[in-house]
């Protein structure tokens, strides 16, 4: 079984976010980048299939040379090889088009992607890749088992879960639950050393339209000051909740 894991190169959630050029561009100075958390769940599940069923695992990313440390981390976790599509990920369709081209040429059985990336939260790439590749598709997936070409999956829906039976080839939009957080793999020294010698192939992008453009970014409004009320002053608390906050 050949598995392709799509890896997004995203800012760490602890990073301080700023914008430049009249708030039209993201400022990467001083920002630590990591594997997109939803993608990391997929990668860990792929490594499980590697260990239990002998699958081969390739990781792929759309980005410039600055994303290679993130791919190397995925290799250190256990992926067999990596592909970097040498392009700036301008929008969801552009990324999906590049990934679909890799899938077409790679003969993959399963494609594991996060249901959305932590930075833009677009949630569109896995579905578009499935449509472009003519693969079956399960989004918001929290459980996945594969027996031959038969697949059983569980996905999160409003108010509950849905059990799905399908077949390969398949693309998964994964999320927390695909593996437990405690099972996420941290690269050890041997993995880090081995990752240096694993293949990382750089391919040029195919032509694709850019259908959307970020015009301007805006930070959330600053939090207002907090008013502290003495624990025994219930009347004042009720007055403020009623007349100022207007929540009662």
DSSP-assigned beta bridge partners for residue 144: 153
Q: Which of 99-108, 208-217, 221-230 has the highest mean pLDDT?
A: 99-108
Query: With pLDDT > 90 as the criterion, what percentage of the chain qualifies?
Result: 87
Quick one: pLDDT at residue 147? 97
Task: Say if residues 125 and 154 touch (Cβ distance below 8 Å).
Answer: no
Under DSSP, the state recorded for 196 is T
- What is the reported pTM? 0.89
What is the DSSP code string of 80-93? SEEEEE-S---SHH
Which tens digits make up the pLDDT trace of 133-171?
A: 999 999 999 999 999 999 999 999 999 999 999 999 999
CA 237 to chain centre: 43
Phi, psi at 72, each rounded to 5°: -65, -35
pLDDT band at 212 (very low <50, low <70, confident <90, very high): confident
pLDDT at 2 over 90: yes
Quick one: pLDDT at residue 225? 85
Which tens digits make up the pLDDT trace of 34-71?
A: 999 999 999 999 999 999 999 999 999 999 999 999 99
Quick one: pLDDT at residue 218? 92
| The two three-digit tokens of residue 104, written as one number | 């077409």
Task: Say if residues 153 and 117 touch (Cβ distance below 8 Å).
Answer: no
CA distances for 32 relative to 17, 235, 246, angstroms: 11, 47, 41
| The two three-digit tokens of residue 75, written as one number | 């290799």
Quick one: pLDDT at residue 149? 97
Q: Which domains does the chain have, with CATH numbers?
A: 2-215 (3.40.50.620)
Which tens digits make up the pLDDT trace of 63-110?
A: 999 999 999 999 999 999 999 999 999 899 999 999 999 999 999 999
pLDDT band at 223 (very low <50, low <70, confident <90, very high): confident
In 3D space, the residue among 157, 149, 159, 150 whose CA is nearest the CA of residue 173 turns out to be 157
DSSP-assigned beta bridge partners for residue 171: 111, 137
Phi, psi at 43, each rounded to 5°: -60, -45
Which tens digits make up the pLDDT trace of 168-179?
A: 999 999 999 999
DSSP E strands in the chain: the ranges are: 2-6, 9-11, 18-20, 25-27, 33-35, 56-62, 81-85, 110-114, 136-147, 150-157, 160-167, 170-174, 200-203
pLDDT band at 226 (very low <50, low <70, confident <90, very high): confident
């Amino acid at each position: 079984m050949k598995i392709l894991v799509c890896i997004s190169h995203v800012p760490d959630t602890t990073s301080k976010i700023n914008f430049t050029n009249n708030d039209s561009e993201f400022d990467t100075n001083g920002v630590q980048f990591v594997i997109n958390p939803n993608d990391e769940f997929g990668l860990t599940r792929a490594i499980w299939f590697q260990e239990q069923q002998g699958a081969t695992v390739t990781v792929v990313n759309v980005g410039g040379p600055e994303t290679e440390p993130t791919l190397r981390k995925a290799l250190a976790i256990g992926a067999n090889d990596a592909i970097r599509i040498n392009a700036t990920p301008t929008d969801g369709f552009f990324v999906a088009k590049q990934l679909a081209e890799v899938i077409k040429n790679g003969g993959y059985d399963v494609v594991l992607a996060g249901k959305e990336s932590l930075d833009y939260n677009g949630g569109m790439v896995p579905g578009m890749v499935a449509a472009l590749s003519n693969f079956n598709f399960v989004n918001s997936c929290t459980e996945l088992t594969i027996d031959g070409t038969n697949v059983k999956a569980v996905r999160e829906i409003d108010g509950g879960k849905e059990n799905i039976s399908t077949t390969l080839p398949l693309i998964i939009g994964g999320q927390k639950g695909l593996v437990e957080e405690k099972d996420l793999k941290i690269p050890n020294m041997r993995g880090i050393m081995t990752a240096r010698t694993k293949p990382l192939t750089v391919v040029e992008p195919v032509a694709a339209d850019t259908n959307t453009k970020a015009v301007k970014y805006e930070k959330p409004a600053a939090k207002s000051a907090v008013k502290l009320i003495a624990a025994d002053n219930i009347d004042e608390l009720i007055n403020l909740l009623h007349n100022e906050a207007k929540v009662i």
